[in-house]
Amino acid sequence: GLEITLEKFFSRGYYLLLTTSVFDSKYTAFDGIERNTSFNGNYVANILGGYEFKTGKHSAMTIDLKAVWAGGKRFTPIDVEKSFTEKETVYKYKQSYEKKHDDYFKVDLRIGFRINGKKINQEWALDLKNISNHQNIFMQSYDPATNSITTDYQQGFFPMMLYRIQF
């Protein structure tokens, strides 16, 4: 594979990090056939950045952004007919990791306020996880009640509050 990273270290109130990787991840199974690994999304790109606004001699407001775009997770297809007969999920192992789910995409935003004391630093922040509410697939399974494949998704939009003391 190939990886490229560009970084601007924190100075003048901001930082920035860009990374991208292009790769091909394979394995050879016991049957002698070379296949994709479950991790072979083929590419991933990340961007992280932040800015700090001084609000006083010992305090600052911060804004941080993190985004990830990656090739979809590889999966082994489910054999619906055999799953119906067995009443449980049966996979088509001869087609292991040939197909990919849709691309993974997530953007997080943090807005914070920090006070730096002589012995203690305090931070308050609002973390907005997955602000685009993109539905990233976690896994699929067979549902015998409906005789269909169900899809479970990763966490959607999720706001969190943070209070941190450092000493």
Does 147 have pLDDT greater than 90? no
Q: What are phi and psi of 95, to 5 degrees?
A: -110, 25
Give the pLDDT score at 19. 98
Q: Are 51 and 63 in contact (CB under 8 A)?
A: yes
Q: Are 162 and 137 in contact (CB under 8 A)?
A: no
| pLDDT over 70, % of the chain | 100
Q: What is the mean pLDDT of the chain?
A: 95
pLDDT tens digits for 77-119?
999 999 999 988 999 998 999 999 999 999 999 999 999 999 9
Which alpha helices (DSSP H) does the chain contain, by range? 80-86
Cα 128 to its chain centre, rounded Å, is 14
pLDDT tens digits for 25-52?
999 988 888 999 999 999 999 999 999 9
Whose CA is closest to 121, among 81, 45, 62? 62
Q: Which pTM was predicted?
A: 0.85
Q: How many residues does the chain have?
A: 167
